[in-house]
Amino acid sequence: MHTTHRFHACLAGLCLALTLPAMADEGAKQSPVAATKTDGRSELLMSVDALRTFGLESAWQATLPMVQDVQWTGAKMQAETGDTGSVYAWDGAGALISLDRASGGVRWQSAGLGDKQRVVDVLPARVDGRDMAIMLGSLRCVVLDGKTGDVAGTSDYAEIPSTVATMFGSECIYGSASRKLVWTRFESERVPSRTQTKIRPGVITNVPGTTDAGSHVVLRQIRAMQMRGSFESAPVGGANDVLVVTTGRGEVSCVNKDSGAVLWQTKLAGGVVATPALSNGTVFVGSKDQYLRAFDVTGGRTLWKWFAPAELDNPPAVCGDLVLVQVPGAGLAALRANASDKPDGDLKWMSEKAVGNAISRNAEGVLCWDAASSTLSLIDDRTGGVRQTIHAPNMQTVWSTAPVNGDLLMLNKDGRLQRCRTVSALAVETRTSAAKAPKAPAKKVEGDDEGNKPADAEADKPDA
């Protein structure tokens, strides 16, 4: 009898096991919840075929979590080549997310600034041998541990930044709202432990302890140099220990980044609102006086100057042997970067149909991004003809790691972030670099083309 019952029980279990998969398949067909969903986020921002025409390939695409419908507004990668390091993205509420550069996987997410400050810039840095993510906010600076996202320190500014910053190791240099070029340094500071002793109900007195509870990173101002004009663009740093600074008043200054000594300075007839480009010992500056100038960074000598059809308010970009600048109402202009043999500049072509600023160049051509129309274009670097155009109305930003053979980061308003690698690499013969800029504190000041002398820039010490 028991054997019969066990036989029937096994037979019923076998029938149930065979029936459940069929029921599950039928339920999957009938239930929309179990069916595969396509909400658009799984689609690539740029398809494989479209990327191929731009000389790119997709490395990965991630969908960033959106909290309370706050849109992600910026993204950038660490400048190192290869697949090591982090990708950072931040939103309009001051939150920061770190992704693995190789896979796009989320490493950590932090509230960051927290109190709805505007993010001025996010910079990777090393402080006392530790990887850090520096969040420059509109009111204060927050330092996050690069590996965990934990807050390593917060600091108020002695001078509120008005530009993005340039990092040199643990030093951060930026232009302030009070027209000062500010040097700051990130330092680790020990935090003494504190014990709590209750004196009476509701009253707690903190008593300093005898051991260290840990450390936090603080931002200290170490130097400031007063300028006469306001900062309209960020300072640009080079590998030869120099810093090029421009103002809306037309001042162009080359400063030793270590000592703050002014190596040379000139005053242009028009203000400078676009960030200069520094490459191979030459700095390229576009001005409101319609000139694009090339200066020798070691002495300030004008190598050449090209008169544009309109005032220049877009940043020039040095892509190999070309310097490219978008001229309002005229289009993209391409000039030979090393044109010291032609004092008026060597214009290779002008493309009226090419919109946006050049962000990188590879073997397929020049990649341009126009934020106003959300258009990514591929321009023939020999003729200036438009080879390919993609209009992406929901694209928030497109950022490149390098002006030649750079990877691209594309951030969409719905939180999709796509990293694209360059596969069509451009082989460019680089010009011989200029001699290393001297570190001597000698100050050389030059006049402008009309012989006017600039105002002296005075260095002062931070307030105690």
Q: Is the pLDDT of residue 178 over 70?
A: yes
Whether 181 has a pLDDT exceeding 60, the answer reads yes
- In this predicted structure, which of 39-48, 117-126, 205-214, 452-461 has the lowest mean pLDDT? 452-461
pLDDT in tens, 308-333: 999 999 999 999 999 999 999 999 99
**pLDDT attached to residue 381:** 96
381 exposed, middle or buried (CB, 10 Å; 0-12, 13-18, 19+)? buried
Average pLDDT, the chain: 80
Domain holding 194, by residue range, is 78-178+180-226
Mean pLDDT of 223-245: 89
Q: Given this model, what pLDDT does residue 13 score?
A: 45
Q: What is the pLDDT of residue 85?
A: 80
In a domain, 250, yes or no: no
pLDDT of residue 424: 94
Strand ranges for 248-362 from DSSP E = 251-256, 262-267, 277-279, 282-286, 291-296, 302-307, 317-319, 322-327, 331-336, 347-351, 357-362
Smallest CA-to-CA distance from 238 within 168, 185, 293, 181 is with 168
* Type of residue found at 276: P
Question: Taking residues 216-220, what's their average pLDDT?
Answer: 87
Q: How far are the Cα atoms of 41, 147, 273, 427 from residue 124, in angstroms, in the given order?
A: 29, 11, 26, 29
What's the average model confidence in pLDDT over 393-418? 93
**Residues with Cβ within 8 Å of residue 78, at least 6 apart in sequence:** 85, 86, 87, 101, 124
User: Residue 102 is part of a domain; what is its CATH number?
Assistant: 2.40.128.630
In a domain, 86, yes or no: yes
**CA triple 366-47-363, angle to 5 deg:** 25
User: Among 58, 54, 56, which residue's Cα sits nearest to residue 365?
Assistant: 54
Contact between 367 and 357 under an 8 Å Cβ cutoff? The reply is no
Roughly how many angstroms between the first and final C-alpha of the chain, as a whole number? 97
pLDDT of residue 457: 36
3-state secondary structure of 405: coil
| Inter-residue contact 392 to 370 (CB < 8 Å) | no
**CA 287 to CA 31: how far, in whole Å?**
63
- 178 or 462: which carries more pLDDT confidence? 178
Whether 274 and 255 have beta carbons less than 8 Å apart is answered as no
Rounded Cα gap, residues 247 and 267, in angstroms = 10
Tell me the residue length of the chain.
Answer: 464
Taking 80 as the threshold, does the pLDDT of residue 430 lie above it?
A: no
Measured in whole angstroms, how far is the alpha carbon of residue 453 from the centre of its chain?
35
pLDDT score of 67: 72
Asked if residue 449 has pLDDT above 70, the reply is no
Q: Residue 335: what pLDDT?
A: 98
Has residue 64 got a pLDDT over 70? yes
Q: Which residue has the higher pLDDT, 205 or 396?
A: 396
Q: What pLDDT was estimated at residue 427? A: 87
Q: Which residue has better confidence, 432 or 364?
A: 364
Q: Is residue 435 part of a domain?
A: no
Distance CA 324, CA 343 (A): 17
> How many CA atoms lie within 13 Å of 62's alpha carbon, on the beta-carbon side?
21
pLDDT confidence bin for 435, thresholds 50/70/90? very low
Residue 81 — very low, low, confident or very high, per pLDDT cuts 50/70/90? low
The pLDDT value given to residue 274 = 94
> 30: which DSSP letter?
H
Q: Which of 24-38, 252-266, 354-368, 410-424 is predicted least confidently?
A: 24-38
Q: Is the pTM of this model over 0.75?
A: yes
Domain count for the chain: 1
Supply the pLDDT for residue 338.
Answer: 95
CB count within 10 Å of CB 34 equals 12
Task: Assess if residue 107 is contained within a domain.
Answer: yes
Kindly state whether residue 139 falls inside one of the protein's structural domains. yes
Quick one: pLDDT at residue 360? 97
Residue 129 — pLDDT band, cuts 50, 70, 90? confident
Please indicate, yes or no, if residue 89 is contained in any of the structural domains: yes
Q: What is the mean pLDDT of residues 16-25?
A: 38
Residue 433 lies in a domain: no
Q: What is the pLDDT of residue 42?
A: 62
Q: Which residues contact 74 (CB under 8 A, 6 or more apart)?
A: 89, 90, 119, 122, 396, 397, 399, 411
Which of left, alpha, beta for 82 (phi over 0: left; psi -120 to 50: alpha)? left
212 is a domain residue: yes
Most confident of 121-125, 129-133, 371-375: 371-375
pLDDT confidence of residue 21: 39
Could you give the CA distance from residue 358 to residue 336 in angstroms, rounded to a whole number?
15
